[in-house]
Amino acid sequence: MVTSKTIALGIVKGVGIIVLTALALYFLYQIQAVLIYLVVAFILTLIGNPILDFFKRKLKFNHIAATIATLTIFMLLIFGLLSMFIPLITAQGENLSLLNTTEIEKSTLELINKIAAYLDSHGIDSSRLFKEANISSKINFSFIPELFNSIILTISSFGIGLASVLFITFFFLKDRLSFIISAKHLMPDAQEDKILNSLHQINHLLSRYFIGLLLQLFIVFILYMIVLLIFGVENAILIAFLCAVLNIVPYIGPLIASVVAAILTMLGNLGGDFQTQILPVTIYVMIGFWIVQLIDNNVSSPLIFSKSVSSHPLEIFLVVLITGFLFGIVGMIIAIPFYTILKVFGKEFFPENKIIKLLTKNL
């Protein structure tokens, strides 16, 4: 029999759960920087594990020395990249007119007028397309400089969290066996072997994935920069860097990068004639970017997204597409690592399931 006391206790319990959940979410929101440090440190640990094992097995380092050597390599690479690229990127970002809303609006309107003149010269009435539509009043020009400024500020302030990330990474690498031993005490005895096997496989697959991803981004950055330098595009390093970062988003990122490169190329060549200079250079840059993406899609991406996580390219495409529809850009970025983790646990705990057996036959 349901009494008023039972109902009251249920209500209190429900309210308590809601309040505790809200407090937990608020707490996580307040320490989001720490969570980001932990995620970055975890990724660096996955990348560093093969390096640490190389020092231990091939060079006969003890565990502490191998950990210090691995972290030293990370520090040299990070500081080398920072000293090499950040001053150039920051300097070009400060000179780039897109960082000023007024300038970008002025440049865009000038570009629209040049396009309109080009269309008129070919017998196409541009007034209905541009002037009557009043495009300038419908475009929010502020989002572009805000985007560029946020990226450059993030790069500039990267050093604030770098020490924390490296400190956490050191202990993740140094005490990984201790973490495993501690975790074993929390695991059910009946499932301990399966969980440990899954974690070992996940570590192996994700280590290969993140190493391959870094290599892919570096290759794409170099190729983009070469294309832009060949055609004399201003701020080539900055544009190549931003477009390479967009490649983190599978499939959609390279398409956005092409559009960004085309727009910035046109805005950077406003001093020239549209028909003989701006349009040809933009077309050449677009073709160059498409060639880079063709190389990436047929060489780099299959190697990273398929072989590194032992999944079929179509399988990866569908997973990225579904997570993109469900969770947006963030879902597309984390889709492959998360899907890999699910596959590993599925194979370990449900090996006889026909669907899981089909999806994990290459694991």
pLDDT in tens, 336-356: 888 888 888 888 888 777 877
Residue 326 falls inside a structural domain: yes
pTM of the model: 0.69
Q: Comparing C-alpha atoms, which of 69, 88, 108 is closest to residue 263?
A: 108
What's the pLDDT tens digit per position in 129-152?
555 555 545 455 455 555 555 555
Q: How confident is the model at residue 44 (pLDDT cuts 50, 70, 90)?
A: confident
Look up the domain containing 272 and give its range.
Answer: 176-363
Does pLDDT of 247 surpass 70? yes
Measured CA to CA, the distance from residue 292 to residue 281 in angstroms comes to 16
Does pLDDT of 297 surpass 50? yes
Average pLDDT estimate for 299-313: 72
Q: How confident is the model at residue 93 (pLDDT cuts 50, 70, 90)?
A: low
Assign 234 to helix, strand or coil: coil
Average pLDDT estimate for 236-241: 83
Average pLDDT estimate for 42-55: 86
Q: How confident is the model at residue 84 (pLDDT cuts 50, 70, 90)?
A: low
Does pLDDT of 358 surpass 70? yes
Q: What is the pLDDT of residue 101?
A: 52
Assign 296 to helix, strand or coil: helix
* Count of domains forming the chain: 1
Q: How confident is the model at residue 97 (pLDDT cuts 50, 70, 90)?
A: very low
Residue 225 falls inside a structural domain: yes
Measured CA to CA, the distance from residue 269 to residue 232 in angstroms comes to 10
Of 42-51, 91-100, 218-227, the range with the highest mean pLDDT is 218-227
Measured CA to CA, the distance from residue 344 to residue 360 in angstroms comes to 8
Residue 230 falls inside a structural domain: yes
Residue 157 falls inside a structural domain: no
Of 211-215, 287-291, 323-327, the range with the highest mean pLDDT is 287-291
Q: Are 53 and 39 in contact (CB under 8 A)?
A: no
Q: What percent of the chain has pLDDT over 90?
A: 3
Residue 242 falls inside a structural domain: yes
Greater confidence (9 vs 123) lies with 9
- Give, in order, the Cα–Cα distances in Å from 284 to each of 1, 89, 221, 223: 79, 23, 17, 14
Q: Comparing C-alpha atoms, which of 140, 223, 227, 169 is closest to residue 45?
A: 169
Residue 29 falls inside a structural domain: no
Q: How confident is the model at residue 98 (pLDDT cuts 50, 70, 90)?
A: very low
Measured CA to CA, the distance from residue 144 to residue 98 in angstroms comes to 7
Q: What is the pLDDT of residue 11?
A: 80
Residue 191 falls inside a structural domain: yes
Q: What is the pLDDT of residue 145?
A: 55
Residue 11 falls inside a structural domain: no
Greater confidence (100 vs 17) lies with 17
